[in-house]
Amino acid sequence: MTHELKILSKYFDAILSRKKTFEVRFDDRNYKENDKLLLREIDEINYDYTGREVCVGVSYVLRGDYCKVGYCIMGIQLSPMPVEYEADGYDDEGHLIYDKAYCPCCRQEYEVDYDNHDNYCRNCGQKLSWNVAYLPELLTEENNEN
């Protein structure tokens, strides 16, 4: 299950830098191991969404003795988020050409054919998935070649 939650900028940045590997929350959602938390950053002045988000996996949930009543502590790990591909033209057979990709967290632009496909965004640190399953036209083209 994926839980969408707000998070203040200072905590959001600490997660991206891998300094913060836990999340303390009011235990009103029955959090479990293997759940995902989609953390949407809010600024600390106006409490407006900034547009940045990060997905983390829940690796452990602690309830009881060491927790304030009604709260839980979750161990978290950055989960990969799929890059967002953009096509800007067609090849000679009319297939879309995907030559740009964007980090889903900070919108850092990557040239698909030229940049290294790092597992983490070089700008914000979000773990990235470069799976071509998000490109149905490419899968169709690959299947036609076999």
CB 60 within 8 A of CB 37: no
Examine the domain organization and report whether 72 and 7 are in the same domain: yes
Block mean pLDDT (10 aa), the chain, length 146: 94 90 96 93 93 90 93 91 80 80 83 74 82 50 41
Domain that holds residue 58: 2-78
Q: Domain tally for the chain? A: 2
In this predicted structure, what is the pLDDT of residue 146? 39
Let me know whether 74 and 94 are in one domain. Answer: no
In a shared domain, residues 7 and 72? yes
Output the pLDDT for position 136: 46
Residues 10 and 73 in one domain: yes
105 burial class (0-12, 13-18, 19+ CB within 10 angstroms)? buried
Tell me, yes or no, whether 138 and 86 share the same domain. yes
- Give the helix, strand, coil percentages of the chain, each rounded to 5: 15, 45, 40
pTM flag (> 0.85): no
